Structure 1
Amino acid sequence: MATPTARGAQDLFLNAGVLQATYPPEPLPMIDAIRFLNVGTIGLTNLVLPQPIEFQNTVYITNRGRWLGSPGYRLLTFDPTGNPQRRMAAVFHNEGLVNPNAAEVSVDGWLIVQATNIINRGRLEISSFGQLNLTGETVDLRGGELRFMESGLTNITARTYDLHWGFETNPIVGRFNDSPLASPLHVVQVLNGFALARVVLPAGFSSHVQIYALGPSNLLIQAVYVYNGGEIQDAEVRMDYPFSVIRWQGVVTNPVTRTRLTNELYLTEFLTPGNYNFNLTNGTLYRASLNPVGAARPFNFLVSGAPPVIYPFLPTVPPEAFDPTLYTIGTSIVVEATNAGYRTRVIPAVMVPSETQPGSVFSNVMGRFEILASRALDLNAARLSVPSYLRLETTGHFAGSANAQIEAPYSSIRLSSTNGLLEVRHLQLPVVSRIVGDLQAWVGMWTNATADGISLQYKVLMVSNYFLPGAQPMIKDLVLSSPQGQREVRIADRLNVFDSLLIEAERLTITTNPPVSVTLPPFISEPFHIAGELNLVTNRISWAESLPQLRYLTNEGTITISNAATFAGLRRPPYYPTVYQEPYEGFVNRGTVIAQGLEVQSRYLESTGTNTTTAGHLRLIATEALLGSGATNLWGRILAPLGDVELRAGRLWITNHEVRSGRRLILGADEILSDLDTTNNWLVARDGLTLSVRPTRGDLRGSTVTNVAPDYSRNVVIWAGEDRGPTPAGFTNNVALGRLVLDAGFGATFRFQGLGVSNALYVDQLILLNYATNELNNAFTALDIAPNLVIYYADLLVGTNRLAEPVNSSRYNNGRLRWVPAFADGFYGATNVFLGTRVIRINTALALSTELDSDGDGIVNAFDPVPVLVPEDVTVRAHWAQGQGLVLTWPTVPGATNTLWEATSLTAPDWRVVLRTNFAVLPLPPAEPCTTPPCPANLLPGRGAVRLPVEPAQGPRFYRVEVEVPSR
């Protein structure tokens, strides 16, 4: 193509008709104009120079028609005679889809646009191996469409990543078993050497066999065996020697057109002795692989997204039961043998960087889109379907991507906001709708002969696959910046980051998505998740270093981290003058946080969701922490199956929570540690418990704490509770537990010790399970209780036996196990007794005792409808006995301390104690016979009495009584 003599640029180049040219033979038109406007059809092709076509001196570029080209265009301002330096044009405007063939720019190679203002309301299209680059100050893609030519198909011919390949001529013994069906071991080549491979088909594979008569004494047996191990189970087999074609199908949604389409993948195999010998002779046994560079595939295998040309002409072979006798006939004499092995990974991109090629990176792969805006970027309602890689960048303001449809298997994203809020919503579809997964194949050929002289030829293809109908998009580098105002970044998409992360904001919110406002067809799934996700899929990314300015974190979706993470402010230059660490101001988790190890440091911490570690410890440290909510029935979870769980705060509330520690459970609070008397807490530890400090107030009387000691382990419990003796006062503001379950394996020991000189652990219900129930010499052998700790319980279950009273009376474990029968305010160790319309709570073990008569009425508790003295029934009765004075009686029990007060009026400032005694033997009420002399046989239980020498002339007297029941 000759360059014409320079001339002055015209003001306007207008194409309203059809402008087509192919060089060679005809020259391409030279367009030299300040303004370029196309309202017709343009098609320019350069077959000689593999570089984009350029115009001269164009400043304003507008397209309202159809614009085609090969290998593509570079649209900018270029003056080869004046200033040869390429500069940005002023405007590139693709005006919109006026009709199906209008406002479209379609090329099979490059489409490079550099303009101060880029506006696309129509369609920009490249081939699946091309490059689309939009670089400007303001890039406005609202409602427009950017796609590759095969976006109507969801698989591309070259979308494979080859893993191994190989040919062999070793003899094959034609014997196969059906559970599982396996190919012979065969040598294959991988990227860094050689290996042995075998295709194994588990039970459930499909069998497809065709037998052809090649002559009166010559049979050809062709078989295809397929195992579908993934989600795609629809596989059709067609064959006619030498071809075998397998088709997999899945129904998906085109992300650009929002229409249903069939996602297809084809494996074609065509090995014969003839073409093998030909390719071996010519050195073409393998075809070079695109992914990765340096890999190869056997020439007889082809993986494609479109059907091969021969596919419609091949008969379908339905599945049938596997017949192993096909390989047992004849003499098993191998005349010749050829076999090939191949393994590949079907990937969602045209090309990915090669691990064997230096300098191979995403920025130079084929099939990439690059959208760069220095001032503003608008993706609202835009539709993008990217072959391989999307680079999306604005250092100015990101105007959003609401209702966008963006499909990119790999991307790098750098976005910023100047209004205080950067929202990532609809920036990525959750799934790239292309078949992906591993495929392994082996094909073998051999011959045999029967005893009666019939020649047998075998060709067997075995295929194992694990295909999925789509892949999650992956982000190489993610940079989100909100440097002004409230400095918040909000994420509502699933973002999977595998190389680097930087979020420059003080507030990060993983938020939810509202429901779709329109009714979608049943085959179209919603284009986003219910809630956002931030998944760091590589251990190269450090959470604290990647969010250097973060102060407030709210998670209503999912955060997944592939290494240990510290959720705290790691301050460093250039954001802060020095390096230091400080807690977040606020951490709120209503979703899921997963990391290998996790530590959260925050002044305010609230979690009603799930916090999980997969390998290490989990620590939540705060000034004020609210775990769970008593107002909802939703359970929060704290799970560390392989590490410690530490919950420490100045004020710590735990409600509606499951806490599972694979090792030690550590609790600590300076002011408050409480479950608000709710019964929806389940705390489990496998290596002991620690109460590191006794708070000023609060208890866990509604919580169940299970301590599991595996076989031969020594499980240590360290407790800081105050020893207040066997009194109900020990169960209040002393971190008393609702249930403590001690589950011991064989040879395991629970070691209990106090944190100070004298401590106690108060438990409403103590439960011993498995080997913790073993007894020897009035001691539970699995319990080793130090001299500085006492375990007080209201109820004790040893296996299924209630032994609260016997264990206490026998002074088990050197008296370190003590029963508190007077405590009846718990959820687990108390029961209800009904007195008419009244309900009273009493200690369960006390109520069921067959030895104690707590109210002294002569009936043991287990058979007494009212086994204890009821406070409401302690009333003083008085009558005048002639010659005996005033007689007062009231209900009491043996051993109780009875105090009687006297006053001259109800409003008297002080009352005088006239009696304080405990009746070792209850006196006989004066109204009963046999009073003089006293008659022990007539002593009535449950009454206290006193005679006072009071005369009526002394004036009115008022009396009140207090009965203090003994603890036993």
Structure 2
Amino acid sequence: MHSRFTISSSFAAALVAGVMLATRLWGQGQAVFENNTDTLLSTDVPQVAATTFINSARFSVGGGVTISGYGLPFDTLYTLYFTNKTSGRMEGYPGFRLDFSTNTSSAVIERFPASVIHNQGKMYGSTWLDLWATNIVSPGQLSAGVEGLIRLRGNNVNLSRSFIRVGGDPEYPDLDVSDSLIISSGYINPRGIADTYWAVGRDGTLSGSNGVSLNLPFLRQTFLTPTPNSPSHQVLALSTLGRNRVITNIMSLPSSFRGSYGQYDAFVYSNIVSSTSALVQIVFIPTNNYAVAAGIMPSVRFGSGIVPIVELRTPYYDPVAQASRLLTLYLSDYAQFYTNYTLQTGYDRNTYLADSTLAATGTRRPNNYLLSFNAPSEWSFSLLPNLAYSNVVFYPATAITNRASYRYTAYSAVVNATNDYTGLGMVSPIFYANPSNAPGRLQIEADNLDLRQARIHAENVVSISTTNLIGNTLAFVDAPIVRYDLGSTQSVLHVSNLVASTFNRFWGQIAVWSAFWTVPYTNQDLITGNWETNYTEFHVTFVDYEFYPTIPVNLYDFSARATNLVLHDSLSPSTALKLDAESLTIAGQVGNPASLTLPFFAGWGPESFPRLKHLTNDGNISITQAADFSTRLATNDIYGQPTLLEVPYRNFINRGNLDAASHRILATNFVNSGSLIASLGGIQLRLTNGTLAGGWLSAQSDVDIRAVNFNAATSTLSAGGALILDVTNNLSDAGPAALNDWQVHDGVTLLRRPRTGDLLGTRITSQAAFNTLVRHIWAGRNLGPTPAGFSNNAALGQLVLDGANLALFEFAGADTNNALYVDYLEFRGFATNIASALQIATNLTIYFANANLSPDKLNGALGGRLQWVYQYTGTFSSTNLIVDGRPVTLNTALLQSMFSDLDADGIPNKLDPTPYLSGRDIDLQVEFVRTPALQAKLSWMAIQRSTSLVEYTTNLTTGPWLPLTSITQGPQNGRLTVLDPVRPGAPRYYRVRVEPFIGLSQP
């Protein structure tokens, strides 16, 4: 039978009274230690030595706490099994360390993982919560103080439905020293607050000499709301050249950096000090600046009527606790408590909290100021302003003097932001340079980790490392800095809700100037009628601030290992990224697509994506450096030496936004329907099969496409350099409906003619800057001026040449005799001067079906290198002419030609209102004649060089129409006759089609 050691209520009381000694063991030699009644111990905490630890009540221990809040956590000996039941509440000051520890013969404690730690209740450590076990199961609550550490280590860690918070908890007394500390020789700022400048002086100078006293009448203008300003004053600040070097600056509030002008209110509290004196305290503060617009609301009160206190607060919703909370910052001015204003010494917080050592920071703060996140004690007894503000108060009509000497203090600090040391400048959120040792940290290390429905908060850092993330469905992590090293043995690892976009925290800067002076004035006693001298003491506090309620989350580093990895979060690691997966998907959920932003110094390559074969981007990928989308396979060369073989991705699918300095993409299957942008360089595609299904390709330099098959439809392409095409098998678009729009700035090169395909739905615009030469090379076959050249010959739908002044477009063939077939050729700008702007080599001919310049003039230009294919009727070169109620498709330019007369009526097409032959013009006649047999005689009018097709059918309803004969007319118009024997049986019906000669009257 197992022995059991149980704490009863009377025994717990004895322990509290200090009956037991600290050297005594709790439950020594027992198998089970069980606490089932509230136990509160503050000193002389004994050691638990038992195999099993069970807690089902409140267990509060604090024997290890030091004056600074740090110390050794409570732990046990020989314990393998820890259980904190649902009713259990464990509180440790400074915390708990739960593992298996044992004494060796040399009296050294050795530590190993416990077997099981099971927490269904609540565990809190003001500074420490360190759990190490083979199996950790915690559906309950784990919490630590604002500057504490929770560390969970185990083989199997199940945190499903857990609540973890490093940041205190309202259910427990938070004994952390997490706010301002005032010590006899100086002060310690709250974590995240850094001094930027400070001052104690008189009349605007630090020394008090050669200063300028206040011009009391002018103060009415100086302190006129809503545009008040403080007098200029000297301050001290640490130099950017070194933290130990102090410099003097001149400041005046409000600072132009924050744009607070014209947005100030004043709050007044007046006290009667004696029968002849009064104290008037005035606080100037912006109430309508950006911070207010962002939801940070100011409030001014007066502690005990003499301590001006400014509260900045903003409500927010805590997504972890799912409760409404407040972010607050308080500035208190205790000037009335002092007759002598001094500069206190600032001390380093980390050093002091570690071992109570005082290490000076080199900064100072006037002794009348306190800046804190928690409300000062005077806030609870504070009073609202009791007097409406009027600037007349500064210079009463019976004032004895019009000038006053004044003392002043000044101070500025940044809050959770960068420190420029020299004063009020632009700031940005600050993060810990080394989050591995940051306070306010949650650290999880597990072989198998379950985070399903877990809700996690840390004031500074969440660091999670696991080889197998079992699940994180609807988990939520809330921290300003997060670190992940994730793996999965399952087929798919989903990364979701692990990285929020923002964290609720004040950040920005605040500045304050306080001044104190006395104004004497005469006053007539209402009873005696005598005139007497009275005094008004002024205490003005002028505050300026710029704050933001949220900071962006810093994903410090991120790595993941899985066969298939799906990212649902927006990931932007600042230092390192490694995704070891065969398949990577950036999810594109509606309204909130995932994103992946690489560290600033990192490019995309095999080092960060060593096994990647399949990339699907439905969200956003941003890369500031070059991107190399390929992998490396270790192998041996022909000499048996180790080498790396470049391997393309099997699938590269981009339906989102992908931006890099430059792109080099090797893929078996490439599909882009999103945006692919090279912001600094070019785009290289090395593909087996490539498709542009809509979307956008944009590069500052060349777009170089090499593929076996390449198809494009409804795509936009912009090349700051050249467009280079090398497609071996099929280069095609979707025909006239493709609507591809490609723009280039250094010409187009087709290195070889693909076996099949054309780009007849594509418009290529070639632009040339002032006085530049752009070269074009094309590899189409030269079949002459025939429509056959527009089929399977890399023919273009539209080619636009747009040149600035003195630009030159040069064209050449890829071989000895090539051609470029273009449905529509357009010239813009200087390019309209083809004699000067266009140069075609002798190994290339450009054939076009239509142009924006007169084809009659272009045809045969440049030594016959420009030729018009007027027989071709493409999408961009044809029109439908309605003849006898039916459409006839003709070359548009041919209908506008002065050198063509389609109906042979002697009127050029361009001038002919009816340029095409109609049925009325044919004048078809049918009669019967005997020769001697009965025959049908057909006669009609045929125009010159036309072709007449005679057809017949025996059934007008079902057809078919069969050819009878065809006749080509000579060079003159004339009437043609055809005889057809009349056969017994079914009747015959005839029709004649006269196809005019499509040609020119002169070449």
Give the aligned partner of residue 520 of structure 1: none
Give the aligned partner of residue 507 of structure 1: 583
The residue matched to 1:825 in structure 2 has which SS?
Answer: coil
Give the whole-Å Cα distance in 2 for the aligned partners of 1:367 and 1:535. Answer: 26
What is the correspondence of 1:864-943 to structure 2 with a 5 Å cutoff?
867-868=915-916, 894=944, 919-923=970-974, 925=975
Task: Select the structure that is richer in strand.
Answer: 2
What is the correspondence of 1:375-390 to structure 2 with a 5 Å cutoff?
376-390=448-462
1:458 deviation in Å? 9.0
Match of 1:667 among 712, 722, 725: 725
1:625 deviation in Å? 0.7
1:274 deviation in Å? 9.1
**CA 1:344 to 1:11, structure 2 compared with 1: closer, same or farther past 3 Å?**
closer
1:391-415 CA-partner distances (Å, limit 9, x unpaired): 21223x3211112122232222222
Give the whole-Å Cα distance in 2 for the aligned partners of 1:320 and 1:711. Answer: 66
Mapped pair 1:477 → 2:553: no
User: Does the CA contact (< 8 Å) of 2:41 and 2:60 recur in 1?
Assistant: yes
Give the aligned partner of residue 734 of structure 2: 676
User: Does the CA contact (< 8 Å) of 1:351 and 1:388 recur in 2?
Assistant: no
User: Does the CA contact (< 8 Å) of 2:28 and 2:48 recur in 1?
Assistant: no
Give the whole-Å Cα distance in 2 for the aligned partners of 1:273 and 1:19. Answer: 46
User: Does the CA contact (< 8 Å) of 1:207 and 1:320 recur in 2?
Assistant: no
User: Does the CA contact (< 8 Å) of 2:902 and 2:998 recur in 1?
Assistant: no
1:234 deviation in Å? 4.3
**Aligned-partner residue type, residue 656 of structure 1:** T
Mapped pair 1:69 → 2:92: yes
**Aligned-partner residue type, residue 921 of structure 1:** Q
Give the aligned partner of residue 73 of structure 2: 52
Mapped pair 1:557 → 2:619: yes
1:186 deviation in Å? 7.1
Mapped pair 1:9 → 2:29: yes
User: Does the CA contact (< 8 Å) of 2:162 and 2:454 recur in 1?
Assistant: yes
**CA 1:32 to 1:947, structure 2 compared with 1: closer, same or farther past 3 Å?**
closer
1:490-534 CA-partner distances (Å, limit 9, x unpaired): 222222222222222222222355x9xxxxxxxxxxxxx744332
Give the whole-Å Cα distance in 2 for the aligned partners of 1:390 and 1:119. Answer: 19
User: Does the CA contact (< 8 Å) of 2:332 and 2:371 recur in 1?
Assistant: no
**CA 1:218 to 1:550, structure 2 compared with 1: closer, same or farther past 3 Å?**
closer
**Aligned-partner residue type, residue 51 of structure 1:** L
Give the whole-Å Cα distance in 2 for the aligned partners of 1:771 and 1:6. Answer: 97
Give the whole-Å Cα distance in 1 for the aligned partners of 2:403 and 2:643. Answer: 79
User: Does the CA contact (< 8 Å) of 2:585 and 2:616 recur in 1?
Assistant: yes
1:698 deviation in Å? 1.7
1:537 deviation in Å? 2.8
Match of 1:537 among 562, 585, 599: 599
Give the whole-Å Cα distance in 2 for the aligned partners of 1:892 and 1:371. Answer: 94
- Tell me, which stretches of 5 or more residues in structure 1 are unaligned? 96-102, 355-360, 516-528, 629-634, 798-802, 903-910, 926-944
**CA 1:383 to 1:548, structure 2 compared with 1: closer, same or farther past 3 Å?**
same
**CA 1:771 to 1:480, structure 2 compared with 1: closer, same or farther past 3 Å?**
same
The answer to which of 780-789 and 546-555 deviates more is: 780-789
**CA 1:274 to 1:66, structure 2 compared with 1: closer, same or farther past 3 Å?**
closer
The residue matched to 1:659 in structure 2 has which SS?
Answer: strand
Give the whole-Å Cα distance in 2 for the aligned partners of 1:846 and 1:276. Answer: 101
Give the whole-Å Cα distance in 2 for the aligned partners of 1:847 and 1:338. Answer: 90
1:599 deviation in Å? 1.4
The residue matched to 2:789 in structure 1 has which SS?
Answer: helix
Give the whole-Å Cα distance in 1 for the aligned partners of 2:390 and 2:632. Answer: 64
Give the whole-Å Cα distance in 1 for the aligned partners of 2:339 and 2:908. Answer: 97
**Aligned-partner residue type, residue 624 of structure 2:** S
User: Does the CA contact (< 8 Å) of 1:199 and 1:440 recur in 2?
Assistant: no
Give the whole-Å Cα distance in 1 for the aligned partners of 2:94 and 2:685. Answer: 59
User: Does the CA contact (< 8 Å) of 2:412 and 2:509 recur in 1?
Assistant: no
**Aligned-partner residue type, residue 871 of structure 2:** A
Mapped pair 1:614 → 2:679: yes
The residue matched to 1:32 in structure 2 has which SS?
Answer: strand
Mapped pair 1:207 → 2:264: yes
Match of 2:432 among 353, 357, 360: 353
User: Does the CA contact (< 8 Å) of 1:833 and 1:866 recur in 2?
Assistant: no
**Aligned-partner residue type, residue 498 of structure 1:** S
**Aligned-partner residue type, residue 548 of structure 1:** P
The residue matched to 1:730 in structure 2 has which SS?
Answer: helix
The residue matched to 1:807 in structure 2 has which SS?
Answer: helix
User: Does the CA contact (< 8 Å) of 1:656 and 1:680 recur in 2?
Assistant: yes
Mapped pair 1:122 → 2:131: no
Give the whole-Å Cα distance in 1 for the aligned partners of 2:388 and 2:662. Answer: 49
Match of 1:566 among 624, 628, 636: 628
**CA 1:140 to 1:682, structure 2 compared with 1: closer, same or farther past 3 Å?**
same
Mapped pair 1:42 → 2:59: yes
**CA 1:212 to 1:135, structure 2 compared with 1: closer, same or farther past 3 Å?**
closer
1:313-357 CA-partner distances (Å, limit 9, x unpaired): 36479999999x99xx99999876664444444499999434xxx
Give the whole-Å Cα distance in 2 for the aligned partners of 1:373 and 1:349. Answer: 35
1:143 deviation in Å? 1.2
Give the whole-Å Cα distance in 2 for the aligned partners of 1:94 and 1:462. Answer: 48
1:675 deviation in Å? 1.4
Provide TM-score, normalisation by structure 2.
0.75
Aligned length: 869
Mapped pair 1:805 → 2:823: no
Match of 1:266 among 302, 324, 329: 329
Give the whole-Å Cα distance in 1 for the aligned partners of 2:999 and 2:389. Answer: 81
1:817 deviation in Å? 3.8
The answer to which of 201-210 and 115-124 deviates more is: 201-210
User: Does the CA contact (< 8 Å) of 1:753 and 1:787 recur in 2?
Assistant: yes
Match of 2:701 among 621, 643, 646: 643
1:75 deviation in Å? 0.7
The residue matched to 1:585 in structure 2 has which SS?
Answer: strand
**Aligned-partner residue type, residue 73 of structure 1:** F
Match of 1:372 among 441, 445, 448: 445
What is the correspondence of 1:672-711 to structure 2 with a 5 Å cutoff?
672-677=730-735, 678-711=737-770
Mapped pair 1:794 → 2:854: no
The answer to which of 687-696 and 304-313 deviates more is: 304-313
Give the whole-Å Cα distance in 2 for the aligned partners of 1:451 and 1:780. Answer: 94
Give the aligned partner of residue 958 of structure 2: none
The answer to which of 494-503 and 850-859 deviates more is: 850-859
Give the whole-Å Cα distance in 2 for the aligned partners of 1:709 and 1:659. Answer: 16
User: Does the CA contact (< 8 Å) of 1:6 and 1:81 recur in 2?
Assistant: no
Match of 1:32 among 49, 53, 70: 49
1:727-758 CA-partner distances (Å, limit 9, x unpaired): 32232222222233333334444333333334
User: Does the CA contact (< 8 Å) of 2:748 and 2:776 recur in 1?
Assistant: yes
**CA 1:383 to 1:767, structure 2 compared with 1: closer, same or farther past 3 Å?**
same
1:164-201 CA-partner distances (Å, limit 9, x unpaired): 44548556899989999999797743564378796434
**Aligned-partner residue type, residue 973 of structure 2:** L
The residue matched to 2:749 in structure 1 has which SS?
Answer: strand
Match of 2:904 among 856, 879, 886: 856
User: Does the CA contact (< 8 Å) of 2:879 and 2:891 recur in 1?
Assistant: yes
User: Does the CA contact (< 8 Å) of 1:199 and 1:463 recur in 2?
Assistant: no
Give the aligned partner of residue 421 of structure 2: none
The answer to which of 7-16 and 228-237 deviates more is: 228-237
**CA 1:345 to 1:744, structure 2 compared with 1: closer, same or farther past 3 Å?**
farther
Give the whole-Å Cα distance in 2 for the aligned partners of 1:309 and 1:607. Answer: 62
Give the whole-Å Cα distance in 2 for the aligned partners of 1:607 and 1:872. Answer: 55
1:445 deviation in Å? 5.2
Give the whole-Å Cα distance in 2 for the aligned partners of 1:868 and 1:899. Answer: 17
Mapped pair 1:496 → 2:572: yes
The residue matched to 1:588 in structure 2 has which SS?
Answer: strand
The residue matched to 2:915 in structure 1 has which SS?
Answer: coil
1:577 deviation in Å? 6.2
The answer to which of 616-625 and 690-699 deviates more is: 690-699
Give the aligned partner of residue 279 of structure 1: 342
User: Does the CA contact (< 8 Å) of 1:598 and 1:617 recur in 2?
Assistant: yes
User: Does the CA contact (< 8 Å) of 2:167 and 2:458 recur in 1?
Assistant: no
Give the aligned partner of residue 391 of structure 1: 463
Mapped pair 1:223 → 2:284: yes
Give the whole-Å Cα distance in 1 for the aligned partners of 2:754 and 2:388. Answer: 71
